[in-house]
Structure 1
Amino acid sequence: MTDTAAPAAADLATELLDLHRDPRLLTLVNVWDVASARAVAGVEGTKALATASHAIASSFGYPDGENIPLDLMLDMCGRIAAAVDLPVSADLEGGYGDAPEAVRRAIAVGVVGANVEDQMKPVAEAAAQVEAIMAAAAAEGVPDFVLNARTDVYAKGRGRKRDELLADAIERGRAFLDAGAPVVFVPAILSEEDVAALVDAFGPQRLTTIGIPGSPSLSRQEELGVARVSYGPMPQRVALTALQELVEEVHRGGGVPATMRPLT
């Protein structure tokens, strides 16, 4: 164990893991800076935070896809973790060429969970990466690190039949769970039947989905045994939409809405 991982990190990781294992659905509205983190954390019922790599990159003027320097990404993740008293999971994309090292560095700034994409590497290679990530986290004193092992089957499988995509997602997800990941992230517009099949294959409280319009309701996903729903870059888009709507209202001669809340 290095001296960078305080005992509190291990406790926060266990707290985050327990939230995933709870039959009650964990919802994570993703954040991208300290202001958004404090705003989300300040809403009653928020139990943990997750960053959105796309949103952080965009806020610095970078396109998504590991174009933002890892140092800059981790600096913001660390600022977010330091600003709140909740467990924080970071979106580390594909791991910036060395996923275990990226996770080690994330733990050093206070992160206790992470999304890491498989980027459709061969299954054995992707599973070995999962195993290496979990070993790195354990070596840093955070054995309950919540790796949200993401498969890009649907994101990169356009044009393929839905049953083929589902079968591949199941194969990859099972391999990641066997390699030590506590939860598998399958971002896509999934039907209720897809969600049920994934939960059946992985077990209850092992599947993360994304809250894209058209997905099953949160209550139904909870009934089916989904562990977590997160929202990626969409919260930032909602916030920026509100900003544009304010600008439009000002251009019409109006002003800020009476529903505006004070900054926290």
Structure 2
Amino acid sequence: MKILFLGDVVGISGRSMILNNLLSKIKDKKIDFVVVNGENAADTGMGLTESICKDFFNCGVDVITTGNHVWAQKETVSHIEKENRLLRPRNLFAASPGKGFGIFTAKNEMKVGVLNLMGNVFMKKCEDVFESADKFLQKYKLKEHYDFLIVDFHAEVTSEKMAIGHFFDGKATLVVGTHTHIPTNDERVLKNGTAYQTDAGMCGDYDSVIGMNKENSINRFLKKKSIKHFPAIGDATLCGVIVDCDIETGLAKKIEKFIYGGELKNSH
């Protein structure tokens, strides 16, 4: 069983790279299940649309996760209520539309749970993520409710991400961070069998500032007059992880970084 997780897709550059390459990568790597964080996939680099969701599903994506920009496109509020494969952070306040967890069927017919969480430190206010995670684990169990569990932790701070990784160790197949758009070099299988990486990185143009136009970004930091922020549109890199899973335990046997194309070059 192989799972591919791809980090935050940024703008048309990141979308195009996925649409043009994902199906071939799924075939080459013999991937059974694909999760993509799509919260920056719109042309503006903020949010996503129904059309973008359909394009992703048509090119091999099984589930789309999100984060703090999930409501940036107004249509998402209604679309997420009818599209179960689109998730928002589970620990958003209870009245939020949509769901933060689902159980899905992989290409090999195995059941995959996908949990979307958001951090509390330096992020938009939401319910306590550790309390939410604890409640989740009291209700759902690996190999009882699903064969595998993927946790997308959308958070700013590395310490909070690492703590969540250890909190789920032995209870999830994969815990991977999103939001900071930079692939970390710490992919590993934790002591109790959970695959972990602090941040998956982004699917976007790395000749940029976390996917956004670099000149405009610098002007904003210099407090110079700048035009409305927009994504970089050069060749994108796909960034994420591939996890080889143990069918018997639901835990990870191996995790490897996946980086393809663009400024970060081809690693596969």
User: TM-score, normalization: structure 2?
Assistant: 0.48
Max radius of gyration: which structure?
Answer: 1
**More helix per residue: 1 or 2?**
1
Greater relative contact order (Cα < 8 A, sep 6+): 1
**More strand per residue: 1 or 2?**
2
User: TM-score, normalization: structure 1?
Assistant: 0.49
